[in-house]
Chain A
Amino acid sequence: MSDDVSVMTGNEAAATAARLARVQVIAAYPITPQSPVVEQLAAWVESGELSAEFVAVESEHSAMTVCIGASTVGARTFTATSSNGLAYMTEQVWWAPGARLPIVMCVVNRAMAAPWNVLNDQQDSMSVRDAGWVQLFCRDNQEILDTTVQAYRIAERLHVPVMVCYDGFLLSHTMMPVAVPSPEQVDAFLPPFTQPFTVVDPADPRNVGPVVLADPRADETGAVRGGYMEIRALHHRALLDALTVIPETDAEYAAAVGRSWGGLLWEHLLDDAEVVLIAAGSLGTQLTLTVEALREQGVKAGVLGIRAYRPFPVEALREKLAGRRLALVFDKALSYGYEGPICSDLRGSMLGVEGAPAVFGAACGLGGRDVTPDDLAEAARRAIADLEAGARTRETDWINLHLEG
C-alpha cells in the first residue's frame, strides 16, 4: 500500500499523527507556535473525522492534568505545548511520568522568556529533561508524523510518557511533503491502548498515587511493597529499557509503514569521519549540508544526530564516537553558568572511553537567531583549529553572536 503524500506543516504532521493514533482525549491551551496542532485536532473532533473528547482547558497546567486524569482511567491522550506553556505545566510534567502514564506530548520548541521571544530554540524541553519522560527530537515533518505515532507504542509498552520535540517555525510552520500512512497501516502497528489493570473500578477500588514513605512497607497481607526509591528505580529502569524499545519500535514501524528513522541516533557521512558534528532536531538536517561542504574542503566530517535525548544513548554514542578526533556539539539551549546540555551529557558519556574524541560545545540559534550551514562550517573550522592548537577542552563557542557595538 503506497502512502498518500501531502504537503503540510510540522504542526499538521503532528495533528495527523494524533488522529492516526486514534487518540481518545485531547486537552490543550493555545501558545505560539504550537496552537495550529490543536486547532486542527479541534476541527477534526468537531467535524466527526476524529472520535475523541477535546477539552479546551484554561491553562497548560490543566492540559497536562486532563491528560493525567484521562490516562489514569485508560484513555489514549494527547497534548502539545511550547516554551512558557511547558514551564507552566512543569509540576504536571513531573507528575505524569511519576504516575507512569503513557501520555504523548508534542513540544514545539521555542525560546523561554524573559525577554519575550516566540522563535525557536530548545531551551523549553531541555529544561524538563530530568522529569522522566522519553524525549525524541525530530529533524523534519515526516519524522514528526512517524515519531508521534511511534511515541504511543513506546509510551504504552514502557508506561512512561513521551515528548516529541520539534523546532518551532523551522518545522512547525514550514510546508514539506509528508507521506501519510493509511489508518490500516497504523492500526496494525499500534494496537488500542489498554491499561494492564483497571486502576479505576469501584468493584476493585485502589488508591492511586498516595503518599509513599522512604522505606518499603508491608501491605495488609504482610507483603512488603517498595518505598519511594524502589518506585523511582523502576521508573529509571523503564527509561533505560527505552534504549531497546525505541529502536525496536522504529523497526516495527518500518515493517508496518516502510520508513525508519534510526532509533536512538542517526548519522550522515559518519563512516570515515574524524570530525563529528552533533545536534538534535532540524539543526542536524542543516549539519548534513555543512559536512558535505567541509568534505569538499578536505575535512573528513560527518553528522551524528540525536533522536533520543532521554534516555541518553550512552553506549550507542560511545560506539559511534570512539576513535574520532573531535565531537563538536551544537546546542540550542544552555545550562546558564555551565554549557549546552547535550554537550555536557556527551562529554560525561565519553569519560574513560578508549579513543574518545575531544568534546567541544557551541551555542547557537537562541531565540531564533539564524544559523546557516556556512556558520556551522565556520564553527567547525574554528574547533578544528583549536584542537590542532592543542586544546582538549574549551569554553562554549557562541555562534553568530554580536555583543560588540
Chain B
Amino acid sequence: MTTRILDLPDVSYVLPGNRSCAGCGIGIALRQITAALEGRMVMTVPASCLTVLGGMFPIASVNVPWVNVAFPSTAAAASGIAAGLRATGREGEMTVLAMAGDGGTGDIGIQALSGAAERNEDFIYLCYDNEAYMNTGTQRSGLTPAGARTTTTWAGKRENPKDIPRIMEAHGIPYVASTSAAFPADVYDKVSKARGITGLRYIHMNTPCPSGWGFDPKDTVRLGKLAVDTGLVVLYEVERGVFRLTGRSASLAKSGKPRVPVSEYLATQTRFRGMKPEAIESVQTWVDERWARYVARDAGACD
C-alpha cells in the first residue's frame, strides 16, 4: 500500500501552537504517526525534543494519551504499559507507541530497547533520528554522522554513526523500517503497516533539525529528500526478515541513475562546514558500500 501525499487523512492530533522549533521534522511526522494510529494509542516519551513539543503543565499540545518517562527507560515503559493494558483487559483499545530520539534510542536507551526486542514486546518503537542531542544543545550521539560539528565534537565527529535498525533486525523482531520525516506518506504507510503487526515493531526516522544541523527552517523537506537521494538515508522495510527498498529509495535503485554526491548534501549545513576533502571522501565510501548492500538485499541477497 502506497499512500499519495494528497490522500493523507485530513486529521491532526497535533494541536496548533506546540513548542517545536520552526522547521522541526518531528512536527511534520508526528501528525502522520498519530493519524496512522487514528489517535487510538498511548505514547511514551523520554526526555527529548518531543517532551518540549508536548507542552508544559497544565497545557498539552498533542491530543492523544502521552506518558513521559525517564531518559533510558522508553522501551521498558512501553513494555510496562503494554503489560498493564493486558493485565487490565484493555490491550485491544489502543496501540502502544514509544517514541524517542537518537540518543534516547541508540545510546542511553539501547539496553531497555534490546531487552524489549528480545522479549518481542507488543508495541511500536519509533526513533526520530535528528542525529545529536538536540534538546540539550546539540551534543554528539552515537548516531551523529562523521564530520558533523556538535558542541562536544568541535572539530567534527570522527566516527560513522551506528546502524540501529540493523541492530534491531538482529533481534529477529517482526518489523523494522527506515523512513524520513521529509516523506510524510512513507511515514504514514509504515506506521499503518506496523499497527497491524503484533510484537515489537521498530521504525527509524531520519528527522532534519534546522537549529542543530544549521540550515534554513524552510529547507527541512528539501534536505530530508536530498539525504535520501545521496543514499545517506535509505527508505526500506524488513517485514518478517524480508528486506525491500521503499518509495524514493526503491525508485532510485530501480532507475540505476547515479546518486547525488554526499558532498552536495554536506554543503547545505553549517555543521559540516570545514570538513576536509578526505573526510568527505571517507563518508562517500561509507555510503557507497552501504548502498550497494541495500540494493543487493533488495534484489534478494542475504545480508
Contacts and interface: CB of A to CB of B under 8 A. Distances in A.
A200 B70 CA distance: 18
Given A56-B119, A57-B115, A202-B64, A25 B93 contact: no
Contact of B57 (A25, A27, A58, A212): A212
Nearest to A227: B57
B77 to A, nearest CB: 4
B80 A66 contact: yes
A179 B287 CA distance: 68
Given A200-B67, A205-B63, A69 B83 contact: yes
Nearest to A26: B83
Given A62-B115, A69-B76, A73-B81, A25 B87 contact: yes
A208 B66 contact: yes
A219 interface: yes
Q: By CB atoms of chain A within 10 A, which of B40, B88, B90 has the most?
A: B88
A306 to B, nearest CB: 30
Interface string B65-78: 11111101101111
Contacts of A382: none
A295 interface: no
A65 B77 contact: yes
Contacts of B80: 25, 27, 55, 65-72, 77
Interface in B105-137: 111-112, 114-115, 118-119
Nearest to A231: B57
Nearest to A66: B80
B150 to A, nearest CB: 24
Interface in B45-70: 51-52, 54-60, 62-70
B107 to A, nearest CB: 14
Interface string A192-206: 000000011110011
A35 interface: no
Contact of B83 (A25, A208, A211, A213): A25
A27 B119 CA distance: 13
B68 A65 contact: no
A59 B112 contact: yes
A381 interface: no
Contact of A68 (B58, B77, B94): B77
Contacts of A218: 58
A212 B79 contact: no
A164 B65 CA distance: 32
Most chain A C-beta atoms within 10 Å of own C-beta, residue among B64, B67, B85, B94: B67
B153 to A, nearest CB: 27
A335 to B, nearest CB: 26
Contacts of B261: none
A69 B115 contact: no
B58 A225 contact: yes
Contacts of B77: 65-66, 68-69
> Quick one: which of A65, A92, A218 has the most chain B CB within 10 A?
A65
B59 A75 contact: no
A74 B84 contact: yes
Nearest to B94: A202
B88 A66 contact: no
B240 interface: no
Main secondary structure, interface of A, reads mixed
B59 A66 contact: no
A27 B84 CA distance: 11
Contacts of A118: none
A219 B55 CA distance: 11
A49 to B, nearest CB: 16
Given A91-B70, A202-B65, A53 B87 contact: yes
A359 B44 CA distance: 49
B42 interface: yes
Contacts of A61: 72-73, 76, 111-112
A27 B55 CA distance: 31
A91 B112 CA distance: 14
A202 B83 contact: no
B275 interface: no
A316 to B, nearest CB: 35
Contacts of B114: 58
B83 A62 contact: no
B115 A210 contact: no
Contact of B67 (A67, A72, A92): A72
Interface string A39-71: 000000000000011011111011001111111
A94 B66 CA distance: 20
A200 B65 contact: yes
A292 to B, nearest CB: 48
Contacts of B67: 69, 72, 199-200, 208-209
Interface string B176-199: 000000000000000000000000
A65 B66 contact: no
Given A70-B83, A202-B41, A209-B69, A57 B56 contact: no
Closest 8 A-B residue pairs measured CB to CB? A69-B80, A58-B115, A70-B84, A62-B76, A66-B80, A65-B76, A24-B87, A207-B60
16 contacts: A53-B87, A62-B75, A62-B76, A65-B76, A65-B77, A70-B87, A71-B80, A73-B42, A73-B85, A75-B83, A91-B72, A200-B85, A202-B41, A202-B65, A206-B66, A213-B57
Given A57-B76, A70-B84, A73-B81, 13 more contacts: A24-B84, A56-B119, A69-B44, A69-B76, A70-B83, A70-B87, A73-B88, A75-B84, A77-B84, A202-B94, A205-B64, A209-B67, A209-B68
